[in-house]
Structure 1
Amino acid sequence: MTALTIPTTTLADGSAFPLIGFGTGGLKGPDGAQRIATALGAGYRLLDTAAQYGNEAAVGEAIRLSGLDVDEVLVTTKIAGGDQGREAARTGYLESLRRLGLDRAALVLIHWPNPSRGLALDTWRTLVDLKEEGRALHIGVSNFRPEQIQELVDATGVWPEVNQIQLSPALARHDTVAFHQEHGIVTEAWGPLGGRDGLGTQYALRKVAQKHDATLTQVTLRWTIDRGIVVIPKSGDAQRQLENASLDHVRLDDEDRALLASLDLGEDAAWDSREHEEW
């Protein structure tokens, strides 16, 4: 019996996909593995990691510690910038699987487009192959702009199933989300609690949280999943792990949404993946 009931959205092929996952960045070693296992015990079934996070072995150990069947846990990992390329991406992904102790990941993403390298398309072709081979259940991208996605599709005819992007009430990304919806791409949010934008200090957010007797985090996560967008909050604290996925008491109304809409800084405030690269 799990403590949490997590709502789902639907991928393009009809597969159910949790709207609330668990971010694992920064959770490493035995302690990290135990904290991730605690999240699985609470009811999370979607884990988000990446080669770049340096914790895939801890994620794999957490699944073993949880006692869950590996097929019950959906693991997302990402191809690092330095592993982009036709063969390098395959090698990098197989190394990720080795560290995870898995035969396949539920979802593999290209972490950043890194346009200066010019290898995103080659990398995407490899992900398409990996899915066809059954080595990855689902494939997608992360931090890609609509025109960067379109380049992949024009060359291969294959749409990403997910795009994980920077998104929060301070960065609502309406045009990008609309593009995703038009083409059957699930939007997944990283940074849903804001960051350098100072979201947590905003009066409008605090007012909505007070109204619903909720944390700032719960309000932002509810606002996000109400848009059909997947969130992957991270916490090593067991109580906060439960709070982050316990959103039933937060029912935002039109007044709340109008207040939160006032926080949107616009597309230019997001990290621009034509310029920002991570290798």
Structure 2
Amino acid sequence: MVQLIPEITLNDGLKLPVIGLGTYKLKGKEGVNSIISAVESGYRLIDSAYNYENEGTIGEAVRRSAVPREELIITSKLPGRYQTYEKAVTTIQESLYRANLDYYDLYLIHWPNPKQDTYVEAWQALIEAKKSGLIRSIGVCNFLPEHMERLEKETGAKPSINQIELHPLYNQATQRKWHEENNIATESWSPLARAIQVLQNDTIQKIADNHNKSISQIILRWHYQLGAISIPKSSSPARQLENISIFDFSLNESEMSMISGLTRPDGRINHQDPAIYEEF
């Protein structure tokens, strides 16, 4: 049975499902089959990136899927090494050629790379690609408020979304509040984290037991009630279906606070601070 996933509307009018499929390391035939199974379960938002080296896999899954292309929301991302204007223009085109798609629904700058200081140039390339019809909506990943403020100040265009590291061990409360105040959607990468501390956490397990749900379902429901779009990765059809089966219960205020209270200053998975981190 296809699960129906609620949608939110971005500041430019594009509607996104509140849960999508992360595809990091999903490649080749197995990757295509995994993505098709997700679409068959009800996923419509598919997240990828140039640096994942699987845009071709995404495109092949789109072509083989029984769901029409226009009903799918396909995302990719510009890597750090191609952030100058001319390189960004070419890379966006190359992303489309790799996937054999006419357009991306959502295209993001993967990291700000502040030392390189070319993210405004890259943003201008995304703006032009949107005007040309190659992209429907443009956004960023891992940008801090000062980075996004500069984009809008220097180009007049605000990101529709910011994809950030967000999970119970790093709840990003301050950043999420800024997004809300500035009408920029929050999208969570690694929403389940990659740490045993989360998937075997006693606090979350007790909440899961109370609702007769899995820990993953509790965490993804937490993201949903925070107002964040989550993109959990799974190649298992059973787990894919489990991850989107979170709309028949809700967490109370106390449960939300207990999960949010697990956050810690050093909660980032790989200590990638956008103020200093440089992506290749």
Partner letter of residue 64 of structure 2? L
Pairwise mapping of residues 1-279 of structure 1 onto structure 2 (< 5 A)? 3-196=2-195, 198-266=197-265, 269-270=267-268, 271-279=272-280
Structure 2, unpaired ranges of 5+: none
Q: CA deviation at 1:132?
A: 1.4
In structure 1, what is the Cα distance between the partners aligned to 2:274 and 2:62? 32
Residue pair 1:218, 1:250 contacting (<8 A) in 2 also: no
SS in 1 for 2:226: coil
Q: CA deviation at 1:124?
A: 0.5
In structure 1, what is the Cα distance between the partners aligned to 2:147 and 2:188? 18
How many corresponding residue pairs? 277
Partner letter of residue 89 of structure 2? R
Q: State the TM-score, normalized to the length of structure 2.
A: 0.95
Residue pair 2:188, 2:228 contacting (<8 A) in 1 also: yes
Residue pair 2:14, 2:137 contacting (<8 A) in 1 also: no
Q: State the TM-score, normalized to the length of structure 1.
A: 0.96
SS in 2 for 1:226: helix
Deviating beyond 3 angstroms after TM superposition, the runs of 4 or more aligned structure 1 residues are none
Q: CA deviation at 1:196?
A: 4.5
Partner letter of residue 180 of structure 2? Q
SS in 2 for 1:13: coil
In structure 2, what is the Cα distance between the partners aligned to 1:160 and 1:254? 30
CA deviation digits over 1:110-134, x for unaligned, max 9?
0011112111010001111111121
Partner letter of residue 27 of structure 1? L
CA deviation digits over 1:37-76, x for unaligned, max 9?
1111111110000000010100100011112221111100
Residue pair 1:61, 1:100 contacting (<8 A) in 2 also: yes
Percentage identity across aligned positions? 38
Structure 1, unpaired ranges of 5+: none
